[in-house]
Amino acid sequence: MKSQVVLVDKSGEATGLADKMEAHKQGWLHLAFSIMVYRERSSGREYLLQRRALSKYHSGGLWTNTCCSHPMSGEPFDVAAKRRMEEELGVTQPLDYQLGDRFCYRAELDNDLIEYELDQILISEADQVNIVPVDDEIMDHRWWTEQDIDAAIADSPDVFTAWFTDVYSRVKAQLS
């Protein structure tokens, strides 16, 4: 079965379904979500980031937020988040997701693909996350301090996915 994405208009109203790869080849606006898990430490806030597997259909080898994907048709964001956290990171523990901002972005990516998404951010605080990485999904993961992220964005923004800076800045602002 081919993966499908929910096509939407800019207000977020569903307009249909499309094959995921075709939507990315054509640059059709579709629904997505980005999860950011964070924890508070005495030294400051830390964010759980992942490095996408080299075999991913786009943005392989780049660092990004904890998890990101597309909800299935009719699937609530919290259910989609739980599903993808298990499928990508092997996380089965329950996390409490809060809705963050929703934003639209368009980016031309590698492999002649276009990411044009209405992206819903989900935020969860978790002191510990039991990760069993799925090799086809991620090649690395670690907790990053805000200072480390800010420095990496300033010095080498190309190590991050096209959407990461938007997600990070919105989550950071919401948590402030």
Q: What is the predicted pLDDT for the residue at 19? A: 96
Please state, in angstroms and rounded to a whole number, the distance separating the CA atoms of residues 34 and 161.
Answer: 12
Look over the chain and give the mean of its residue pLDDT values, rounded to a whole number: 95
Q: Mean pLDDT over residues 52-71, rounded?
A: 94
Q: Which of 46, 67, 68, 137 is catalytic?
A: 68
104 catalytic? Reply is: no
pLDDT of 1 > 70? The answer is no
What whole-number distance in Å separates Cα of residue 33 and Cα of residue 154? 25
Confirm or deny that 141 is annotated as ligand binding: no
Burial of 11 (0-12, 13-18, 19+ CB in 10 A): exposed
Exactly one of 117, 125, 137, 146 is catalytic; which is it?
117
- Tell me if 24 is assigned to a ligand binding site: yes
Asked if residue 58 belongs to a known ligand binding site, the reply is no
What percentage of the chain carries pLDDT values higher than 90?
93
> What pLDDT shows up at residue 57?
86
- Predicted model pTM: 0.95
Please report, for the chain, the start and end positions of each structural domain, with discontinuous segments joined by +.
4-175
How far apart, in whole angstroms, are the C-alpha atoms of residue 84 and residue 99? 16
75 in catalytic set: no
pLDDT bin (cut points 50, 70, 90) of residue 143 is very high
Is 70 annotated to bind a ligand? Reply is yes
85: helix, coil or strand?
Answer: helix
Asked whether the predicted pLDDT for residue 45 surpasses 60, the reply is yes
pLDDT at 79: 96
Above 80 in pLDDT, residue 2? Answer: no
**Which CATH number does the domain 4-175 belong to among 3.40.50.720, 3.40.630.30, 2.30.30.40, 3.90.79.10?**
3.90.79.10
Q: What integer is the mean pLDDT of 108-114?
A: 89
Tell me if 115 is assigned to a ligand binding site: yes
pLDDT of residue 130: 94
pLDDT of residue 111: 82
Per-residue model confidence as pLDDT tens digits over 117-139? 999 999 999 999 999 999 999 99
